[in-house]
Structure 1
Amino acid sequence: IRALGSITYLQKYYASGGVICEGVINFDFSKLSFVDSIGPRAGLMAPSPEILLRNCHEDIQSVLEVWGIISYPSPSAHSRNGQDQSPLASPISVDENDLSHQLGHGKEFSGSSLNTQQQHRYDNVTVDLLALLESSTKAISSIRTYSMHAPVLSASALTIHRQAALSVIEMLSILEQDNRVLDSENEMNHPEDYCYARLSFGDLEAERAEMKQYLAIVQEHLFKPQVSKIETQLEQLLISGSNDNSTESHAAGVAALPKWINDDEWTTEEGEQISLERCHAFFEFFKPATRDSLPSPSADKTAFLSALSDGYVVCKVFNAFIRLTNMPFGVVDKVHEDTTRTWRGADNWRFLIQACKFRLEFKIDHGSFKPIDIVKQTELGRQQLETWVKLIVMRGIQEAKETLETKKVTSPILAPTVFIDF
């Protein structure tokens, strides 16, 4: 009821409720007979933008996990009767040089479909359709509510979001209708299931791509225009919480900035955009406290790259940084700490690159991406590792600088950005 009622409500809302004409937005609810919204009532008090934004971030992260947009779907999110599916140990093939290890999510990474022998085991993970529908409609509802109350959103941005929302809701509706099971068939073959056939992770590539596209539109048109009004923990961390405009406080704020953010602190060789020493400073700043200090690349470059080759520290640093920003979602929700098996380290890199595509908008040529080589530290792997480390750090520094440069003092929206470690 929660999932299907929300689909009907959202379809009617976006199809009939939001009329945008010549820059004037009109929501005339008195003339509409909506299906009741599924969820708690807001009461008489105006909703808090801080809470609405936090709800959006949390619900989007849930969608990313349930749909497996960054990593494979969480078995606990698709459990039946409170029991998880069997844990995922390794891909089908035991050959770590198999193409399936290097392609990750199968068809999404390759130009043509993989055959049965090459198919990645994650493609066979059974997913619960109702879990997909419920998490998706909950996120869309949260985003809808935020868009109604967020300040300074243009009519064009709301129009683009409305069209994208209608498209993704239609996709969910078709997905739900196409996977219904007749009562007689359900009683014979699916005694514990009600109404729907079982789906596999690999069967939902088109739907997963459309959901990802919708979330990208939300980031671009609803969240990014609010960046200057959002006070993040990253800003607080960088400027030590100083809000005084005096010269002394400003100087103290600059002095408090970490070394990795100041360009004047670093020199690069000819043709080099960023040095590994600066990357080392960035990683030391955000790495888990439980990990030992990383070797200095100036003293031993090979040891530094070797410490990052399994992807664990890079994923953790990426997550720590993203959770402090104004859009704290799109983290790598599954990170293998035990990387004694090569495929686990390769998984870390696959999931990290997916997260970089989604959150940092990287354009990636998957034909040249070889996670197995990175983990095994071949010559090609070391070159790729150094390239990816520099790209991620450069993008992180750029976002940190933008956080400081675009900040406005007036009317901040304080966005809580500390979430459960998925």
Structure 2
Amino acid sequence: MKIRHVKYLVLLAIPFFAILAGTRVVKSQTEGWFRTGINLGQFTVRIAVPDFASRSADPRAAELTKTFNQVLWNDLNYSGILDVVSKSLYPVNTPQEPQDVDFNGWSNPPASAQMLAFGYTETRGNSFVVTARLFDVHNPSNPSVLAKRYVADMNDLSARDAAHRFANEIIQTLGGGIPGINLTKIAFVSNRTGHAEIWVMDYDGFNQHQITNYPSLNLTPRWSPDNSLLAFTSYARGNPEIYLYSLITNRRIPFPSYRGLNTTPAFSPDGKKIAFCSSMGGNPEIYVSDVNGLGLQRLTFSPGVNISPVWNPKTGNEIAFVSDRSGSPQIYIMNADGTNLRRLITAGGDAEAPSWSPNGLFIAFSWSVKETGHWDIYVIEIATGRIVQLTYNAGRNEHPSWSPDGRHIVFESTRTGKREVWTMLADGSNPHELTTAGENWNPNWSN
């Protein structure tokens, strides 16, 4: 593959169809070992979430309460670990205070809830205040699990933030201590302004806003571990270069310019280094440098294209990447110093866009196989080589990226007729479309 084909790959993601040779690929939802590995487990907690009531006469508070209720419901319903009880099964009386709770009414059929999230909102001065509780209705002698109060500004974003925070508290408490993802962000590329620019949105698709304003191609955004920086590929000056952008100062951070192709940057888990692809030496290879560009080190030495590095987020000691050294794009793993190279996907086809799970056990990737003629999202368990398929016969599905809780994956798909950003649970279930304006691709989940 020549360098001009690398640009074709990065910009358009055109697949190379090849043959899948004898490996067992299974549907993820049927595999208990996989659901356990992605923190979804085998059982869900049944929770009732009646609407919080507004105690304020201010009509703004009523609207903000409506927003809070909808966001809280959506967050919990999409957590992957909770079974949110349908409101049609709730008792007639909705509790606001602890003494209002009818334990039998909530714990017995038809609601049959184990947990109850309830409370109320009010205004105090110029603040929107939420009092929220979580009760174990199977333990009436000592039911309190959480008791929280959130003080927000009188606007939609703040009401959403309060709902996200309470949802995170519930999910972390009931989900084995793993923090919720409801305050995380997703970076992506969008052409809705006429140019491919970097955008950021909330995890649920809300608050989409443009980050870059370079009338050119801007691609492959990646978050720093502390979410203060975005690294991406920009053609703003004609040559594809690595740009670093501070989300705190809203300014570029200096990084060296190299000749040739420079693309697919990725931060190390400690935030001190960046791995990226560069053809500065003639062939597209994987390099690593400090974030300031010092200490440049070449890691790969192979004919063809070596691209799309991603660090093991658990250890920081390994890097997965894509190489066509075997004749077609495949995923390889090496130590962070370039040693101990081994091929990860050995069953044929074209495998691209690796994304390492937060626990270091799995890699999600895009795979095109001749038998289906589709690009779909798969996950491989690194230790055993077991592979599960997450998407099926729904357009082209590419560029997966894990959520920090390991329970969700964001990806791009053409299932609606054009490239858009979607999320799903990490077992492939419950897909949600996040973008609709223009075309949107290259999503990356914050940490």
- TM-score, length of structure 2 as denominator length: 0.24
Q: Tell which has more relative contact order, 1 or 2 (C-alpha 8 A, sep 6+).
A: 1
**Higher helix proportion (structure 1 or 2):** 1
